[in-house]
Structure 1
Amino acid sequence: MKELQHLKKLSAVKSNTAIKFLSPAVSPGCHCPMRMAALTAKDIRGLSSLLVGMPECTTHVRLFNPKPEGKDGELHWLYVLDQHEVVFGCRAGVMDALRKMDQDGAKAILLIATCIPELIGEDMESVIQEVQPELSAPVTHVMLGQFKNFSYPPGYWKTMEALASLMKPQQTNPVQINVLGRSPREKHIPMPSLFPELERRGVSLRYLAPGASLTDFQSAPDAAMNLVVSPYTQPLAVRMEREFRVPFISLHTLFSVEAIDRTYGEIAKQFGFTWGNEFDEERERALSLEEKAAGRLNGLRYIASLRVGMPLALAGYLAGFGMEPLLLHMDEFYPEDKGHAKALLALGHAPYICRMVNLPAEYPILERLAPDICFGYLRPGSETIPNMENMHQLYGKAGYGLTIELLEQTMEVVDKSGISGKGGDVYGTASV
């Protein structure tokens, strides 16, 4: 297909720069990482922010965060660059703004630099180093020029990672776990069965995500372990292991019962106990679904669209059932993706990798690929491609429950659509 000639296959993708947009009809604006950083900062109680950018940046931020003061005394200020600063830099003005925020009671400050500060080479790290001795509030920063960050995820994960700068070494609490990527406010999302069972064993859980407090994050280095349930918090876990020696286990990339068994065993060993029959019913249900999937999904070809958290990890799991990935949308190529890519390539799969940001323009291309099924969001009214669109419902799930939800929904779509056999032509009849 000529529409795919500009894309790279997985074997040639080593970083974000190799991931091309599927269509030249790219929707502007909505994928700016600045927005996600500002939203994340707003939702961490006690954390103030200073966003440095052009008038259009600051105006956009005020649309979804209209108040310069938060509910708990946070300050969310905007620094608008003038013509002189666009050319000669904004060092003095930013330092003055940080001093004023400190005087007005900010407890900690996240400095968010947008495109122009990065383009002119403003060194925000040295700005902070120079002014920090004058301040009571610790300051950290994120650099989010969109020409380096091609979609919104860096606004989230870089902000979460930057919070490690606000932490200090602490004595380890042997029964403390941080759950990275789940908010304490998310009562509407079913709790993975692992977490209450850990609490019954006397382990204390601290949930760290937007919705948590600055104090929670600053206390985090006392944990004996971090459990990661979101790709957006994986970089924070890596940094905490490096700087504070807090080991981590990633749960959001585990799908197979075998991998979950092994990981649960590692967690129990870390805290000096063994599991009983707590997960037997859930585990047997997941095993039964895996057995059915092995016969039902073999040979089916698929694509992964928007709202699939870790598409390479998912592809590696689905390959075990004989499914073939044709094309995968990836908002971000995380460092951990290198391992998942290597595993998928070793199984003989090298799908096209792309970014999708304008589904109305891209859907005809996806149709010509003629996949048997799509994982992830498609445009409303899309009916020609069977679609497991509720991938976002997997958010916050982990362990056997994640496996059950994924396989039940997948086979429901397969059965409802009457998909059978070894899949259709890779590019459909239109490509001949």
Structure 2
Amino acid sequence: MNELKHLKRLSMVKSNTGIKFLTPAVSPGNHCPMRIASVIVEDIEGLSSLLVGMQECTTHSRLFSPKPEGEHGELHWLYVLDSHEVVFGCRDGLIDALRKMDKAGAKAILLIVTCVPELIGEDIEGIIHEVQPELSAPITFVMLGQFKNISYPPGSWKTMEALGRLMDVKERDSNCVNVLGRAPEEEHISMPSLLPALAEKGISLRYIAPGASLTDFQSAPDAALNLVVSPYTQPLAVKMEREFDIPYTALHNLYDVESIDKAYAGLAERFGFSWDDIFEEERQEAIALQNQVKEMVNGLRFVLSTRIDMPIPLSIYLSKLGMEPLLLHLEEYYPEDRINAKELIAMGHNPWICRMVNAEVDLSVLEKLAPDICFGYLWSTNKTIPCVSDMFDFYGQVGYGRTISLLRRILGVLDEIDASRKGGIEHGATSI
């Protein structure tokens, strides 16, 4: 297809810069990553922030973070660069602002650095190194120039990773586990069965995500293990393993029953208990559904559209079921995607990689590609491509339960395809 000639195959993509837009149609663009960082910091009790940028950045931030003070005395200040600082840097002004925030009672400060300071090469790390000894509040920073981070995920994972700099070595608690990527309370995300099961076994769970407190983050290095349930916290887990020797178990990228079995068995072995039959009913349902779907999808070609957290791990699982990936939308090329990509390529698959930002226009290209099934969001006018939608609500879900939900949705779409093909005029349906 001529429409795909400008795209790269998965084997050729090594970073975000290798991902091309599917179509050249005009788009208003994605969320600036600094917006996500600002929202995250507001949801962490005790953490203050200083957003550094042009007037456009600071004005925009006030649209969704209108108050300069948080509910518990946090400070969310803005630093607007003047014309002199745009050319010669803002070192003196930033140091003065940090001193004022420290004097005003900030407990810890996250510097959110936008495009211009990064473009002019401002040495943020050097500034912090210079001023930190005279301040009570620890400071960390995140560089979020949109010319390097063209969508919202870096605003999440880079911010979470940056909060690791606020951590210090702690005495290890052998029964404590950090759950990275889930807040203590999530109204819109149901609790994975694994977490209450761990609590019943006497494991103390600390939830590390927006919604937790600064104290939770600073206490995190005392844990015996990190459980990763979100792609946005995987880099933080890697950082904590490197700096504090805390191992992690990644659950957010596991779909097949065998991999989940292995991860759960590893947890039981690590903490010296037996799961008994806690998950057996869930596990057997997942196995039955997995076998059923395998028989029905072998040879089907699929595409992944938008609103999927981890496209490559999902593609690996679908390929294990016997499906063939044609084209994947990657909102973000995560650090661990190099490993994920190698696994998918080793299975004999090398799909086209793209970003879709113009849903209506992109749909016409997908229709020409003619996949048997799509996963993720499709434009509402789609009449030709069967689609497993509503994938974004799997965020924060892990284990057998998520696999069961995914397989049920696949079966639901396959039933619709089958009903359409069998319908005929006498049943009031047409084939697709």
TM-score band (shorter)? Answer: over 0.9
Tell me the secondary structure at the aligned position of residue 225 of structure 1.
Answer: strand
Q: How does 1:159-178 map to 2 (within 5 A)?
A: 159-178=159-178
| Cα displacement (A) at 1:319 | 0.7
The aligned counterpart of 1:72 is 72
In the other structure, the counterpart of 1:411 is 411
Between the aligned partners of 1:225 and 1:372, the Cα distance in structure 2 is 41
Contact 2:33 2:153 in 1 (8 A): yes
Q: Which residue of 2 aligns with 1:94?
A: 94
Amino acid of the structure 2 residue aligned with 1:18: G
Q: Distance in 2 between matches of 1:212 and 1:247?
A: 21
1:325 aligns with: 325
Is the 8 Å Cα contact of residues 372 and 419 (structure 1) preserved in structure 2? no
Q: Is the 8 A contact 1:290 1:407 kept in 2?
A: yes
For residues 78 and 134 of structure 1, the distance between their equivalents in structure 2, rounded to whole angstroms, comes to 21
- Taking the aligned partners of 2:116 and 2:29, their CA distance within structure 1 comes to 15
Matched, 1:226 2:226: yes
Distance 1:187 1:73 in 2: 25
Is 1:202 equivalent to 2:202 in the alignment? yes
Match status 1:352 vs 2:380: no
Q: Note the residue ranges of structure 1 that are not aligned, 5 or more in a row.
A: 422-432
Aligned to 2:273: 273
Contact 1:181–1:208, Cα closer than 8 Å, also in 2: yes
* Matched residue, 2:28: 28
Residue type matched to 2:109 in 1? Answer: I
CA distance in 2, matches of 1:45, 1:157: 19
| 1:148 corresponds to | 148
Deviates more, 1:403-412 or 1:15-24: 15-24
Structure 2 counterpart SS, 1:71: coil
CA 1:10–1:30: 2 relative to 1, 3 Å: closer
**Cα-to-partner distance string for 1:143-173 (whole Å, 9 max, x where unaligned):** 1111111211111101000011000000110
Q: How far apart in 2 are the matches of 1:96 and 1:29?
A: 35
- Structure 2 CA distance for aligned equivalents of residues 144 and 304 of structure 1: 27
Counterpart secondary structure, 2:391: helix
| Pairing 1:246-261 to 2, within 5 Å after superposition | 246-261=246-261
Q: Which amino acid aligns with 2:220?
A: A
Inter-partner Cα distance in structure 2 for 1:306 and 1:286: 25
Provide Cα deviations, 1:161-192, integer angstroms capped at 9, x if missing partner.
00110000001100000000011120442211
Letter in 1 for 2:16: N
Aligned to 1:134: 134
1:240 corresponds to = 240
Q: Which residue of 2 aligns with 1:107?
A: 107
Partner of 2:428 in structure 1? none
Amino acid at match of 2:129: Q
Contact 1:9–1:350 (CA under 8 A) maintained in structure 2? yes
CA distance in 1, matches of 2:418, 2:96: 65
Between the aligned partners of 2:317 and 2:165, the Cα distance in structure 1 is 35
Partner of 1:121, secondary structure, is coil
Cα distance in structure 2, aligned partners of 1:170 and 1:393: 35
SS in structure 2 opposite 1:303? strand
> What is the rounded CA distance, in whole Å, between the counterparts of 2:241 and 2:53 in structure 1?
33
Kindly tell me the number of residue pairs found equivalent between the two proteins: 421
Q: For 2:80, give the aligned amino acid.
A: V
Q: 1:372 to 1:102 in 2, by over 3 A?
A: same
Q: Give the aligned CA root-mean-square deviation in angstroms.
A: 1.3
Q: Partner of 1:286 in structure 2?
A: 286
* 1:430 aligned partner: none
Distance of 2:366 and 2:419 partners within structure 1: 17
Which runs of structure 1 show a deviation greater than 3 angstroms over 4 or more consecutive aligned residues? none
Q: Secondary structure at 1:390's aligned position in 2?
A: coil
Q: Distance in 1 between matches of 2:137 and 2:379?
A: 45
- Render the CA deviation track for 1:67-113: whole Å, top value 9, x for unaligned: 11111111111111111111111111111111111111111000011
Mapped pair 1:395 → 2:421: no
- Provide Cα deviations, 1:104-143, integer angstroms capped at 9, x if missing partner: 1111000011000010000100011111112110000001
Check whether the contact 1:257–1:287 (CA below 8 A) recurs between aligned residues. Answer: yes
Contact 2:160–2:236 under 8 Å retained in 1? yes
Secondary structure at the residue paired with 1:210? coil
Question: How many Å separate the matches in 2 of 1:358 and 1:61?
Answer: 25
Q: Tell me the alpha carbon deviations over residues 358-379 of structure 1, each in whole angstroms, 9 at most, x when there is no partner.
A: 2122111111111111111122
TM-score normalised to structure 1 length:
0.95
2:224 and 2:196 map into 1 onto residues whose CA distance is: 17
* Distance in 1 between residues matched to 2:15 and 2:366, nearest whole Å: 24
- What is the identity, as a one-letter code, of the residue corresponding to 2:160? M
Cα deviation 1:36-80 (Å, max 9, x = unaligned): 111111111111110011111111111111111111111111111
Residue 206 of structure 1: how far off its partner (Å): 0.6
8 Å CA contact 2:52–2:114 kept in 1: the answer is yes
After superposition, residues 299-318 of structure 1 pair within 5 angstroms as: 299-318=299-318
Distance 1:191 1:119 in 2: 42
Task: Among all aligned residue pairs of Structure 1 and Structure 2, give the percentage whose two residues are the same amino acid.
Answer: 64
Q: Which amino acid aligns with 1:73?
A: G
Give the conservation status (yes or no) of the 8 Å contact 2:29–2:357. no
Q: Residues 30 and 344 from structure 1, CA distance in 2 versus in 1: closer, same or farther, beyond 3 angstroms?
A: closer
Is residue 211 from structure 1 mapped to residue 185 from structure 2 by the alignment?
no
TM-score by length of 2: 0.95
- Change in Cα spacing, 1:290 to 1:385, as seen in structure 2 (3 Å) is same
| SS in structure 1 at match of 2:343 | helix
